[in-house]
Amino acid sequence: MKPRHFISLLDLTSDEFRTLIQRAIDLKNNRNPDFTPLKGQVLAMIFEKSSTRTRISFETGMTNFGGSAIFLSPRDTQLGRGEPIRDSAKVISSMVDAIMLRTNDHATVTEFAEHSSVPVINGLTDLLHPCQLLADMQTYFEHRGDIKGKTVTWIGDGNNMCHSYINAAIRLDFNLNIACPEGYLPNTDLVKSAGNRVKLFTTTLAASEKSDLIVTDVWASMGQEEEQKLREIAFKDFQVTQALMDAANSDALFMHCLPAHRGEEVTAEVIDGKQSVIFNEAENRLHAQKALLELLMCA
């Protein structure tokens, strides 16, 4: 039987997504050290890029559940020396119970999944960051209840996080206003796939009006470091400021997947302010991913 993978949020149905969020909240609120459903199981974690939250949350989640995780860097494995992805997928999946990958190229994760005999989890690619959205949505539900019918505003780069917000809007049925500079818009097919749930804006203020949640991310993602200076110019009018938070609904929240650059994509006033829930959001990576590991590995 083919294993169940988590490459995109669209791999979950709307009901599964909501159930997973509730399960994450339950795991967070009712911690039980004797609950070890993954006892003896092993998660391999392959990181082509840096990580703090993703690595620690998956490793801690596996340990909490009685299992363990192995950190693998391409620098130290044969993957980095050109061993074919399909061979690596067959070999690694023959020895472990699930595999998480963070890769530069989305196609690496999809090819790996095709040849893996165990569940593959996307821990971030250039296209998507679905694990982060599990935590973001859990955080919204915890603070404000179901997000269905609410309005979320994405400010900044039309990047992997923005793409995953589009998929979340499809599955959880919320409106998504996206304001990006010209030349940095999200993938056109993804935008089209969301139909009239997604609206593109050219100014941040109009995109923020009547919003329930404002979200942003770095201007230059991992692998785009050499574009930093160019992007600082292109994105200068795409900073989340208190004026944008004030244009949104009075109970609007602010989120950022982190790491953040205060004074670039968001002011310190906003990210360290009362509406910001960034540290709940970061912690929820652990709880949401434990719910995901349970879904994929305990079935």
Find how far residue 45's CA is from the centre of its chain: 16
What does the radius of gyration of the chain's CA atoms come to, in whole angstroms? Answer: 19
| Strands 151-155 and 213-216, sheet pairing | parallel
Using DSSP, state whether 224 is helix, strand or coil. Answer: coil
Instruction: Based on the shown chain and the rule CB under 6 A, indicate whether residue 287 belongs to the binding site for ligand CP.
Output: no
Catalytic residue among 5, 102, 163, 287: 102
Closest CA to 72 of 101, 52, 98: 101
102 catalytic per annotation: yes
- State which residue, 93 or 164, has the beta carbon closest to ligand NVA: 164
In the structure encoding, which two tokens stand for residue 183, read together? Answer: 């030349």
| Strands 198-201 and 213-216, sheet pairing | unpaired
Instruction: Based on the shown chain and the rule CB under 6 A, indicate whether residue 260 belongs to the binding site for ligand CP.
Output: no
- State which residue, 134 or 194, has the beta carbon closest to ligand CP: 134
Catalytic residue among 23, 163, 171, 285: 285
What is the smallest separation between the CB atom of 126 and ligand NVA, expressed in angstroms?
7
Instruction: Based on the shown chain and the rule CB under 6 A, indicate whether residue 216 belongs to the binding site for ligand CP.
Output: no
114 backbone dihedrals φ, ψ, rounded to 5°: -60, -35
Q: Which stretch binds ligand CP (CB under 6 A): 48-56, 176-184, 185-193, 195-203?
A: 48-56
Contact 288, 295 (CB under 8 A): no
285 catalytic per annotation: yes
Contact 37, 67 (CB under 8 A): no
In the structure encoding, which two tokens stand for residue 227, read together? Answer: 């574009």
User: Which residues of this chain interact with ligand NVA, rule CB under 6 A?
Assistant: 124, 129, 159-161, 217-218, 221-222, 257
- State which residue, 175 or 216, has the beta carbon closest to ligand CP: 216
Instruction: Based on the shown chain and the rule CB under 6 A, indicate whether residue 257 belongs to the binding site for ligand CP.
Output: yes
52 binds, among ligand CP, ligand NVA, none (CB under 5 to 8 A by kind): ligand CP
Residues contributing to the site for ligand CP (CB under 6 A): 51-54, 124, 132, 257-258
Cite the active site residues.
102, 129, 132, 217, 257, 285
